[in-house]
Structures are given as structure tokens and as C-alpha cells.
């Protein structure tokens, strides 16, 4: 099944093991609060999945309920977007952790999410990252669809290669 819903084709999210480990470590360090950050890379093209080239940790700007809520400041997002574009890259998604909760989007996540981008969630149980899953919101906002996380065969690009 290649077409899940409209144009939401499940091509997955490609990410290096080291970057996934960095996200998990961020989730463990932030426990019992939620961590969050930005995934910078290349959009899906043809049959290639979206590819994460860089993980940018962000501060959880929530003043309250940090154990089950996160917000990334618009200023941090503007900075991330600018840095990405200077390297010929894009924001391809965002990550956050769910302390003592499964790596599935909550109703609150759905209400605040945008279609057309990846939401990677790490489940951190009692301080240990135990699961990680990536999701995309449908265009009609009715639900998230899970997408595969592809870690094998990932090449790291350190220099900007503009197209």
C-alpha cells in the first residue's frame, strides 16, 4: 500500500543511528519532562524518503506542565529554518518525548500538528528510551498515520551540497 491517504504516501523517514540515539539521549536527559527539537534534512523525492541530516535540540518553552506538554519557540524555529536553508536543506520534521507514555500521538498532539511533516516521538519509561515512532498528520487532520523509520544505509552529509 503506497497511498495511505491522498498524497500522504508512506515513504518513511530516514535517519542515522547516531541522530536517533541523540534524540533518545535528549529524551532521557529531559525526563520526567518532555524534550523537543527540529529535524533538518531533505524532503522526500521520488521513491526516496525524507532524510534527516541534522538534529537540532530545542528548549521546551512551556512554563507549566512540562511533563506532558511541549512548545518550541517561534524564534528557535525561525533560526532552524534559516540555518537549514543556508545549507540548501529544509525542516523535515520535529521530535518530542512522551515520558511514561507510548510513542503514539495524543489527541493534544493531533490538535496542534500540521500535515506534510514528520513528528517523531520517543517513549521514555522511567528515564529510559524504550520506543520511537514517526507519524504524519493526514491532510484532513482526522488522524496520524505511522511512517517507517529507516536507519539502515544512512549516509551522513556534513558539508552543504546545494542543488
Partner 1 sequence: MSLTIQIPTPLRRFTGERGEVQVEGATVGEALRRLVDQHAALQPHLYTEDGKLRSFVNLFLNDEDVRYLKQENTPVQEGDTLSIIPSIAGGGLR
Q: Which residues of the chain form contacts with partner 1 (CB under 8 A)? A: 7, 34, 36, 43, 65, 67-72, 74-75, 77-78, 81, 85, 90-92, 94, 96, 98-101, 105-109, 112-117, 119, 139
CA 8 to chain centre: 16
Residue 130 · residue 101 · CB < 8 Å: no
- Grid cell 545549507 is found at 87
Shortest reach from residue 162's CB to partner 1, in Å: 14
Shortest reach from residue 137's CB to partner 1, in Å: 9
Query: In terms of CB distance, is 22 or 67 closer to partner 1?
Result: 67
C-alpha grid cell, residue 8: 500522504
Query: In terms of CB distance, is 13 or 92 closer to partner 1?
Result: 92
Shortest reach from residue 12's CB to partner 1, in Å: 16
- Surface-to-core class of residue 1, CB atoms within 10 Å of its CB (0-12 exposed, 13-18 middle, 19+ buried): exposed
Tell me the C-alpha distance between 31 and 27, whole Å.
Answer: 6
Tell me the C-alpha distance between 25 and 66, whole Å.
Answer: 17
Query: In terms of CB distance, is 16 or 76 closer to partner 1?
Result: 76
Shortest reach from residue 138's CB to partner 1, in Å: 12
Query: In terms of CB distance, is 87 or 152 closer to partner 1?
Result: 87
Query: In terms of CB distance, is 17 or 114 closer to partner 1?
Result: 114
Q: How far is CA 115 from CA 19, 20, 23, 48, 58, in A?
A: 23, 22, 22, 19, 21
Shortest reach from residue 149's CB to partner 1, in Å: 18
Amino acid at each position: 500500500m503506497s497511498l495511505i491517504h491522498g498524497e500522504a504516501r508512506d515513504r518513511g523517514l530516514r535517519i542515522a543511528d547516531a541522530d536517533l540515539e541523540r534524540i533518545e539521549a535528549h529524551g532521557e536527559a529531559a525526563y520526567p519532562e518532555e524534550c523537543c527539537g527540529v529535524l533538518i534534512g531533505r524532503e522526500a523525492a521520488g521513491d526516496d524518503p525524507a532524510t534527516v541530516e541534522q538534529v537540532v535540540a530545542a528548549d521546551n518553552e512551556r512554563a507549566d506542565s512540562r511533563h506532558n506538554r511541549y512548545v518550541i519557540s517561534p524564534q528557535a524555529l525561525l533560526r532552524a529554518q534559516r540555518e537549514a536553508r543556508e545549507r540548501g536543506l529544509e525542516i523535515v520534521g520535529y521530535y518530542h518525548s512522551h515520558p511514561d507514555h507510548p510513542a503514539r500521538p495524543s489527541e493534544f498532539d493531533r490538535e496542534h500538528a500540521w500535515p506534510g511533516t514528520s513528528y517523531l516521538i520517543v517513549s521514555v519509561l522511567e528515564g529510559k528510551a524504550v520506543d520511537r515512532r514517526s507519524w504524519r498528520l493526514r491532510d484532513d487532520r482526522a488522524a496520524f498515520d505511522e511512517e517507517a523509520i529507516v536507519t539502515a544505509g544512512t549516509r551522513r552529509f556534513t558539508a552543504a551540497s546545494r542543488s
